[in-house]
Chains A and B, each alone.
Chain A
Amino acid sequence: MKSILPVIALGSVLALSACARNKESLPPPPPQAAPALPPVIDQPATVPPPERVVTDAARGSGPGSQADMVAQAGSDRVLFALDSYALDEAARQTLGAQASWLGQYPAIRVTVEGHTDERGTREYNLALGERRASAAKNFLAAQGVDSGRLSIISYGKERPEMDGSNEEAWAANRRAVTITIAGTIAGSR
């Protein structure tokens, strides 16, 4: 019975000649990529559900829609200083107005998205984005919005609002955005 020697033992012992008979083999290498590709892993059968789709109700501009919130509250977003998650006066006013609007539509839930500009490392910015989202969410909750209606998500520096490596783009990207998602309003994913 031929034994398969470990690679290291093969070392310098091998003698090759034009009519080699006694070649020693490594154990076959692990399955190679080319013949047997693993399935692309976010196929439906193996994969978590796709990302959120905005429903018709939230998309439109009627009462209770995202556009309606922007119109009534003045803005769907608040901005932050570099490396900061503190809410300035303008931010507090905007969030206060959002809270009032949410008070009129108790079925509406929101996700607060936190974002950063590009001038931080990737991991840290995910966490900083979440700090910003948390700050905004906590303020909304303090204004009386039931926390069961509030969720957060951070995209770090992955989803800039504005492309560019300049102060204007950076300032626009340091933000927390309030996104309405359907509660029991018609339509689901």
Chain B
Amino acid sequence: MMVRLVLLLLLAVPAAATLRVDITSGIEAPMPLAVPAFPTPAAMQTPAGNTADLGRQVAAIVSGNLVGSGLFRAIDPAAFPAPTVAQVIAPPFLGYRTAAAQALVTGSVTANADGSLTVGCHLHDVFSEEELARQAFTVTPAGWRRAAHKCSDLVYSRLTGETGMFDSRIVYVAESGARTKRVKRLAIMDQDGANHRFLTSGQSLVLMPRFSPVNETITYMSFAGDRPRVWLYNIGTGRQEPVGNFDTMSFAARFSPDGRTLLFSVTRAGNADIFTYDIGARRTMRLTSSNAIDTSPSFSPDGRRIVFESDRGGTQQLYVMNADGTGAQRISFGEGRAASPVWSPRGDLIAFTRIQSGKFRMAVMRPDGSGERLLTDSWQDEGPSWSPNGRVILFSRTERNGRSSLRSIDLTGRNDRRIPTPLEASDPAWGPLLP
């Protein structure tokens, strides 16, 4: 009898196995996750709202981020009572096991005397009752959502082994008006759509923004003054300056991984060549000079190679060359054409637009051209951008005779979802994790 009891206990508590989400292979059932409201030691009014209310909102953001990744599903908070402050570090695990949660995130929101807010974040393994991670984040009231995003990144990275992606922003082009007279404005928002604001007025046609990976700078292309060219815009200071002084159109700019160089295209006599721009020295340098359209250049994460799109072989295809412009080799050989490549920050994949049978589809391939996989199947999906952890691809979808919107998809091809924006949208670029 005693032995049987012991065996039952052993079965009830899975030993040794670390709580982990394997995101690289196979069909996974999302991990059941409980994120109850974050209590506050003392309910206080702050410029961001009451701390008790913030605790509910922080929990909702954390849950929303993690569920939105497709790797987790939320256990309804109504299934268990809201924790007390003491229960933040000593949760009543039985209740969560009964509710079938496997992972539990608890936390608290505290208003500090200096006006800042501290959000505590704890991740627990419900079955082993082990605390897996904890961290506190102190933020200004205006930045309270960032604490929720940082908590989300902590949980995500502890459970997947990957770096996070939630404390980040997206810059994109907001579109409105008749298609024949489209108004396009640069806009920026948190990756979950909050804190949205417009950066330009719509007076000039703007396209193709990209984020610097290291600082508060955006590059984009504008038709202001009937001079289509690439600009650098510092969103901290609001100052901007043009890139180079070309007589012809420049466009399709992307930052190097160290943020010091821009890659972009410049037209010449009906063709387009790839140039670099040393941002500090304000110096441009030509990299390609084929009788072709060379565009959409993107550095590998080690900065030693560049993938780009060229029609030098007759149709748009992908090529990889050395960072000095030498040694270009074609890597795309599938059916149709290939365009707008971006090298993953993890280095393992290149996301691009596969053009075939009249459709544009999101796809990935390895840098040597092998292992091509189509991820989406709609009419016009183009302009991919990687999440900072190289797990998710953000892109623009245009429906036939219809609207343009932003969407994201996991690199495994799962979790195709729409990113809500106030207007129609295109040309998204995912910025880096904030420090």
Contact = CB atoms under 8 A, between A and B. Distances in A.
Nearest to A128: B293
A40 B200 CA distance: 5
A120 B116 CA distance: 50
Contact of B198 (A25, A28, A29, A40): A40
B265 to A, nearest CB: 7
Interface in A21-37: 23-35, 37
A134 B270 CA distance: 6
Interface in B83-141: 85-86, 88-89, 108, 110, 112, 116, 118, 120, 122, 133-140
Interface stretch (A47-55, A57-65, A93-101, A140-148): A47-55
Contacts of A70: none
A4 B236 CA distance: 23
A68 interface: no
B201 to A, nearest CB: 5
Given A29-B139, A29-B434, A38-B236, A121 B400 contact: no
A119 B236 CA distance: 37
| 7 residue pairs, one from A and one from B, having the closest CB atoms | A38-B238, A134-B270, A127-B293, A48-B224, A32-B142, A121-B339, A25-B138
Interface in A125-163: 126-128, 130-131, 134-135, 153-155, 158-163
A158 B182 contact: yes
B112 to A, nearest CB: 8
B238 A41 contact: yes
Interface size for chain A: under 10, 10 to 19, 20 to 34, or 35 or more residues? 35 or more
B73 to A, nearest CB: 26
A16 B88 contact: yes
B293 A124 contact: yes
Nearest to B379: A165
A160 B180 contact: yes
B286 to A, nearest CB: 16
A122 B142 contact: no
16 contacts: A16-B134, A30-B216, A42-B224, A47-B224, A48-B224, A49-B225, A85-B270, A121-B360, A123-B251, A123-B252, A124-B311, A124-B316, A127-B272, A128-B293, A130-B248, A154-B267
Contact of A49 (B122, B224, B248, B311): B224
A138 B365 CA distance: 40
B179 A122 contact: no
A42 B197 CA distance: 15
B309 A52 contact: no
Given A33-B195, A123-B265, A162-B180, A48 B293 contact: no
B97 to A, nearest CB: 23
A163 B236 contact: no
B24 interface: no
B187 to A, nearest CB: 11
Nearest to B123: A12
A38 B237 contact: yes
A42 B184 CA distance: 13
Given A34-B195, A51-B204, 13 more contacts: A10-B136, A11-B135, A16-B88, A16-B122, A25-B116, A30-B216, A41-B238, A42-B224, A48-B224, A50-B224, A123-B309, A127-B267, A135-B270
Interface centre among A19, A39, A40, A158 (most CB of B within 10 A): A40
Interface string A70-82: 0000000000000
Contacts of B161: none
A18 B85 contact: yes
Contacts of B383: 121-122
A165 to B, nearest CB: 5
A119 B180 contact: no
B293 A42 contact: no
A19 B228 CA distance: 59
Interface string B378-391: 01101100000000
Contacts of A50: 203-204, 224-225
Contact of B41 (A18, A31, A122): A18
B435 interface: yes
Interface centre among A12, A14, A122, A128 (most CB of B within 10 A): A122
A19 B379 CA distance: 57
Given A40-B201, A158-B182, A160-B179, A30 B434 contact: yes
A186 interface: no
B135 A41 contact: no
Nearest to A38: B238
A126 B249 contact: yes
A96 B267 CA distance: 26
Contacts of A39: 238
B83 to A, nearest CB: 12
A79 B389 CA distance: 45
A20 interface: yes
B319 interface: no
A29 B143 contact: yes
A124 B236 CA distance: 31
Contacts of B360: 121
Interface in B32-82: 41
B340 A29 contact: no
B197 A14 contact: no
A143 B283 CA distance: 38
B134 A12 contact: yes
